[in-house]
Structure 1
């Protein structure tokens, strides 16, 4: 039995080396809520402005998405020191913060549901940008060419991933400019 196992070892090693590099993108989205109390006849917009905990650069937002992409990779070092990526694991973790209505009359509740649906859709657009960033980072890591050393490989792969991350951060800012922070998607209260 021992002899068979030892005979199979070179074959298993050859199969492992012949396998293409492996990728693994994991996604996690969490929704969290803050409470909004509105009295019958009260302006939803003003009530949201008062209740929202989301304040950035002097602005009040009714919803917010925060995403973060993290990546790891494993490499294979050749006898001569050359190094190549074998395996990647990329994660995008995100949280969407939305309001949750308490109180209000039937008309306010109906208007809030429409508004919250549009807000959620806008925030999911932010999340989709994070998902695209993670997918592109993972693909770029797998496509990283072989380098003369593992230290150089690690530096170059991380530089590539960070450049992609910066591009998607700018894409997210453009998304908000193009949609007016969701206004063109129906996330707007006129009252």
Structure 2
């Protein structure tokens, strides 16, 4: 009997911890860019980029979204507590893809693309932190006198976490100059 119980404990632990796991999906998509030998790489990317916001042209962009669900258990007296959560992070990174160009342009582009991708992965990591913190906040939501109140408070907590991370993302772009301080800069 002890052996069976000991063998089941790791499985029980896995089952209990699985309810807190964040599911993640990251995709990369590309827009094509053609550059002629001797042409300005920066100008060519600016012309090809579909990423335009508030009158600005960007060479890359990361869009992430956190979705959460939770299930609760209602007691006979109406008190309610969260039993299970499911939090999902979906993200898409949009980057340029070079066609044409001479060897020097392709080399400069590859260096630039590496720094650009690393900057965009920083945005993704902010999304990962948001998803993990939202899931933890939902699981830590205390019991409430009613399920309606629990639902309102849990969503309020999750949205507050989301807003903090959206501000963190804006600050990240300001502090890095949208990746310039990380090497995502073309000088021509």
Q: Is this a same-fold pair by TM over 0.5? A: yes
Matched, 1:41 2:38: yes
Distance 1:97 1:185 in 2: 18
Secondary structure of the corresponding residue to residue 42 of structure 1: coil
- Structure-2 residue corresponding to 1:189: 186
2:63 aligns with one of 47, 61, 66: 66
2:118 aligns with one of 116, 121, 131: 121
> Does the aligned pair in 2 maintain the 1:21–1:85 contact within 8 Å?
no
1:102-181 aligned at under 5 Å gives the runs: 102-181=99-178
Distance 2:156 2:111 in 1: 42
1:92 aligns with one of 89, 93, 107: 89
Q: Which contiguous aligned blocks of 4+ residues in structure 1 show a shift greater than 6 angstroms?
A: none
Residues 188 and 21 of structure 1, relative CA distance in 2, 3 Å threshold: closer
Residues 21 and 158 of structure 1, relative CA distance in 2, 3 Å threshold: farther
Following TM superposition, by how much is the alpha carbon of 1:54 offset from its aligned partner in structure 2, in angstroms? 0.2
Following TM superposition, by how much is the alpha carbon of 1:22 offset from its aligned partner in structure 2, in angstroms? 2.9
Following TM superposition, by how much is the alpha carbon of 1:23 offset from its aligned partner in structure 2, in angstroms? 1.3
Unmatched 5+ stretches in structure 2: 1-11
> Does the aligned pair in 2 maintain the 1:118–1:182 contact within 8 Å?
yes
Please give the root-mean-square deviation of Cα atoms over the aligned residues, in Å: 1.3
Structure ID, larger Rg? 1
Distance 2:83 2:17 in 1: 8
- Structure-1 residue corresponding to 2:5: none
Following TM superposition, by how much is the alpha carbon of 1:32 offset from its aligned partner in structure 2, in angstroms? 0.0
Distance 1:137 1:77 in 2: 22
- Deviation digits for residues 55-108 of structure 1 (CA, Å, limit 9, x no counterpart): 000000000000000000000000100000000000010000000000000000
Following TM superposition, by how much is the alpha carbon of 1:20 offset from its aligned partner in structure 2, in angstroms? 7.7
Residues 21 and 28 of structure 1, relative CA distance in 2, 3 Å threshold: closer
- Deviation digits for residues 34-71 of structure 1 (CA, Å, limit 9, x no counterpart): 00000000000000000000000000000000000000
Unmatched 5+ stretches in structure 1: 1-14
Secondary structure of the corresponding residue to residue 188 of structure 1: coil
Normalising to structure 2: TM-score of the pair?
Answer: 0.91
